[in-house]
Structure 1
Amino acid sequence: MTRPPTKPEPLYDAARSDEELRALVDGRGASVAVYGLGKMGLPLATAFADRVGDVVGVDVDESVVESVNRGDCHIDGEPELPDLVAETVGDGALRATTDARAAAERATAHVVIVPTPITEANEPDLSIFDTVVDSVASGLSPGDAVFVECTVPPGTCRDRLVPTLVERSGLAPDEFGAAFCPERTSSGRALEDITGAYPKIVGGVDAESARVAEAVYERVTDNDVIRVSDATTAEAVKLFEGLYRDVNIALANELGTLADDLGVDVRESADAANTQPFCHIHSPGPGVGGHCIPWYPYFVMSRVDTPTPLLRTAREVNDSMPAFTAGIVERELAERGKPIDGSRVLVLGVTYRPGVKETRATPAGPLVADLKRRGADTFATDPMLDDETIASFGAEPVALAEVGRSDPDAVVVVTPHEAFDAVEWDGFEDVVVVDGRDALGDVGHPTYTIGSGRT
């Protein structure tokens, strides 16, 4: 594909009819800059390149840019992504650069999908977002449209994005578009999610911004595009999805801690209860990880004066589960006459969920810390991670092939990777097992499953 020598026609133009706007997008008449080529950014840039064409991905990591320009994929575990990266780079639809300003000057659509973590004080950290917005502003032209996909506190597009673009670009607010169009993807299925697994949500800071966003994303997704009333509403949609899960998981986790007191298998009870269509209890576990669910409550709580006791309590419950799990390990060892102080405890799984090479907010971190605080010698294995990463959490790394010779007194399942199916449990002697995910079944050793109790 040969790129046009000049900047394409503007997208944000109220004089253009719906038919003309869609014809422009469908005819690959837009030039797109995607800022951030991480786990979600590269799949998004590739999907845009495949369906809209003329895409430049922007990243500060030179090795990432070089990899993409070779047609390589630096993201592991995403079906079809390596082939599509190679294809779109090969036909000229996708390229990458570290020069954000040059990309901004060329593009008519700017898509921001960069990390927005929280600080140690649980405040949203928008520093990377702000840096990218400055770059976008440096090349913003009349008629451009800016779409934000990364999670931000409600009101960010209205109160932060647009004023910054106006101040830094010199344009008036009605000379460009801005919309929030949240990513709704999961690792391991990014392309599938982007291109149609769920409806796409778009919300503009004005009606024309929403119209442009709808037309662009109709080209990217095979599913519906839902236009909500404004950008702030769309920002809240993204957060509410995570808040629902955090609160529901907290309910499941709190119920899971009651299995012994109630004398019931909470998992069995919840499964049976969920056959009623108005009940959707999640599964208990050793904690909640990732860069979404544990952080989203703070994106809301940090922006409101109204008390949010349910959100705060849910966070406290979910944050307490690693300590609860460590306490179960200590109790199960004590039941067999072994103090946890000096016992060898093996942790299976350090990533926050199976099959994903991601450790942000993983419950394995505080679990290891709590086990060590109680005096345990703590080891860990994870097929997705190298020894250095595992050691950074305070556990001594153990190769999966060596776990049978690690002579543990207790084994804790945190993340049930498929590779753990190969663990030879007969190789352990006099070991207690704490299954945080109900992943094991009968392994021939005394087992305590969170939510189900001792078997």
Structure 2
Amino acid sequence: MKPSTSPRPLAAALKDRTEPVTVWGAGFIGLSAACALAEAGFPCTVLDTDAHRVSEINAGTVPLPGFEDVIPLAAARSAGRLRAAAADDPEAAAARVHLVCVNTDRDGSPVTGPLSAVLGAIGRARTGGESLIALESTISLRWLDELVPAALGADPATDTSLHLAAAPRRDWMLSPDMNLRTLPRVLGTARPDSLPLARLLYEAISQSVHPAPDWRHAGLTKPVENLYRYLDLVLTNQLAEAYPGLDVPEVLRLAGTKWNVPTFHPSIGIGGYCIPLSPRFAVDGTDQDSPLPLVASAMDWDGDHPARVAESVLRISDGPIGILGLSYAPDARIVEGSPARRLAEHLLAHGADVRLHDPYFTPEEITALTGARPLRWPDDLDGLGTLVAATPHALYADLPARLAALDNPPALVDNLGGYATALRGTTVPYAEWGTPAARTPAAPRP
């Protein structure tokens, strides 16, 4: 799988899918993209700075816990068209086609370091001729104007051999039916003449490609579509705060019976890679001094939400506080944006005895990431005063039965209300988040 040295035009090699493709980043986005390309017929190399990931992929193992059944690594490798390598692999860096799928966030804020490093490596390895570079990472429009040309050492407006594209991913990582092949792909390029080349690549792996006017329009699409959901979720949590005496989840279920109103549920926090970061990328991409005032207000309120959640839990707690689930999503190992992590930190700051369990993290990792003591599942349930069910991992499916069997069960604070039916009629004290039982008002100020 050496880079092409053929004088064939890039368009012809993309059309017959013989052109080698380099994918930068072996996380979920990068590895799934590499597998799709290999299955479509392209020789593909996926690069990563994590030597363990590289070794696992080359051994045929998906190195991402929880995604073994979602990423078709075995099928992609069976044809011999997929390999993994270190990020300094010279052959892969010298390829003519690149997908950039590196993280552009850290600790809840956009970061440019990984993207700059990858683009710099690609720029240094270019040996002449046409190159197609597609950015699948979430980006700020300001980066397209400033960072990308500087890192590559070339301006796509004047270097007609350089084809730059923005092709943001939007698939739901935990659903095999909502992936890069089935969901519509938005695609835009820095120059109009680059779009046909980019379409040859993406139409090989996506059933529906929507061309954007240019790569700026395509790049802003992902922050905007996630921003819609972010604002809805912030409003949902604000309603639970504003009406502590009402069953707000029931109000939202009733509102959702209207044909054009989605149904949301209050939560202990908004987690994950995309939605919590969408306002930051959207605000960063504009050149105005005070852009998007509605978004800025939502960000300020949401930033204080973990502290309010912790105060509410403390008001109803009695004894040690347990938290089930560190990952923001069920049956996956994703700590980015973890609401449980922020809750644990605020509870600990108040001096609470906090214990946390997640089957996808070791006890040592839990303490290092949150400061909480590890909770032994299910042995430690009996010694808790309050239990916060943050993430509904499959392992916790029998939680209601386990709690009901205890002589003195802890009070359960149910983040998303999934255990309500099973616990109805039991002796377990139960509080669905967003209901009066979970939102005991603070004592009035004197």
Residue number among 191, 195, 215 corresponding to 1:210 in the alignment:
195
CA contact (8 A) 1:290 1:359 kept: yes
**Cα distance in structure 1, aligned partners of 2:146 and 2:112:** 13
- Counterpart position of 2:296: 312
- Counterpart of 1:432, as a letter, is A
- Counterpart position of 2:59: 70
Q: Deviations over 1:260-318 (max 9, x none)?
A: 2xx43211111121222332252210001122222221122234323332112222333
Residue number among 402, 422, 425 corresponding to 2:379 in the alignment:
402
CA contact (8 A) 1:44 1:191 kept: no
Q: For the aligned residues, what is the CA RMSD?
A: 2.5
**Cα distance in structure 2, aligned partners of 1:400 and 1:154:** 45
Q: Deviations over 1:370-399 (max 9, x none)?
A: 222223211111122111121120111112
Q: 3-state SS of the aligned residue for 2:141?
A: coil
> What displacement does 1:8 show?
6.8
Residue number among 438, 448, 453 corresponding to 2:417 in the alignment:
438
Q: 3-state SS of the aligned residue for 1:146?
A: strand
Residue number among 405, 416, 429 corresponding to 2:408 in the alignment:
429
**Cα distance in structure 2, aligned partners of 1:135 and 1:241:** 31
- Counterpart position of 2:347: 371
Is 2:273 the partner of 1:285?
no
Q: 3-state SS of the aligned residue for 2:164?
A: strand
Is 2:306 the partner of 1:322?
yes
- Percent identical: 26
> What displacement does 1:65 show?
1.8
- Counterpart position of 1:15: none
Residue number among 90, 110, 118 corresponding to 2:98 in the alignment:
110
Q: 1:451 to 1:166 in 2, by over 3 A?
A: same
Q: 1:378 to 1:322 in 2, by over 3 A?
A: same
- Counterpart of 1:388, as a letter, is E
> What displacement does 1:88 show?
2.8
- Counterpart of 1:346, as a letter, is G
- Counterpart position of 1:453: 436
Is 2:248 the partner of 1:239?
no
- Counterpart of 1:398, as a letter, is L
Instruction: Give the gaps of 5 or more residues in structure 2.
Output: 439-446
- Counterpart position of 2:443: none
> What displacement does 1:429 show?
1.0
Residue number among 71, 75, 89 corresponding to 1:87 in the alignment:
75
**Cα distance in structure 2, aligned partners of 1:116 and 1:366:** 21
**Cα distance in structure 2, aligned partners of 1:110 and 1:345:** 48
**Cα distance in structure 2, aligned partners of 1:74 and 1:285:** 30
CA contact (8 A) 1:287 1:321 kept: yes
> How many residues get paired?
426
Is 2:22 the partner of 1:42?
no
Question: After TM superposition, where is structure 1 displaced by more than 6 Å over at least 4 residues in a row?
Answer: 2-5
Is 2:144 the partner of 1:160?
no
- Counterpart of 2:330, as a letter, is P
CA contact (8 A) 2:3 2:20 kept: no
Equivalences for residues 128-207 of structure 1 within 5 A: 128-140=114-126, 141-167=128-154, 173-189=159-175, 192-196=178-182, 198-207=183-192
Q: 3-state SS of the aligned residue for 2:412?
A: strand
CA contact (8 A) 1:166 1:173 kept: no
CA contact (8 A) 2:96 2:130 kept: yes
- Counterpart position of 1:219: 204
**Cα distance in structure 2, aligned partners of 1:143 and 1:149:** 20
CA contact (8 A) 2:70 2:174 kept: no
**Cα distance in structure 2, aligned partners of 1:7 and 1:245:** 47
CA contact (8 A) 2:36 2:76 kept: no
CA contact (8 A) 1:287 1:320 kept: no
**Cα distance in structure 2, aligned partners of 1:412 and 1:154:** 39
Instruction: Give the gaps of 5 or more residues in structure 1.
Output: 12-20
CA contact (8 A) 1:408 1:428 kept: no
**Cα distance in structure 2, aligned partners of 1:239 and 1:188:** 20
